[in-house]
Amino acid sequence: MRTTSMILAAAALLAALPAHALDVRDLPIARAPETCPHEGPGFVRFTPGGPCTRISGRVRAEAGTPVPARPGASLDGAARGVVSGSGRVAIDTRTQTEYGPARAYIRLGTGH
């Protein structure tokens, strides 16, 4: 009951605050990232004069029903579904320095 009264109090407080309309014409215009063809396919530069970055990855999901190891064998009780998932993201950043090219690469993944 206490949680419900807190939610109602928060809603009443928000309703009492003044509302402001957002004018789309006042928003800054975002520029599209420029490509970096000298670094390879998929590299873009988000800020003018900044490093070239490529973000890539994959997602994999599987779902199914278990299959017994041999025909006629039971599944040890109720049939359970098989659900599996994995993913990976890679970020590759390259820039030119006074000492030559510098590169930072990170790859994070889970699952298989």
pLDDT given for residue 77 in this prediction: 53
Token pair recorded at residue 11: 């809603």
pLDDT given for residue 18 in this prediction: 74
Is 44 within the bounds of a domain? yes
Residues 6+ apart with CB under 8 A from 65: 79, 81, 82
* Separate counts of helices (H) and strands (E) for the chain: 1, 5
pTM > 0.85: no
Is 98 within the bounds of a domain? yes
Is 34 within the bounds of a domain? yes
- For 87-109, what is the mean pLDDT? 94
Is 61 within the bounds of a domain? yes
Domain holding 106, by residue range, is 22-66+81-112
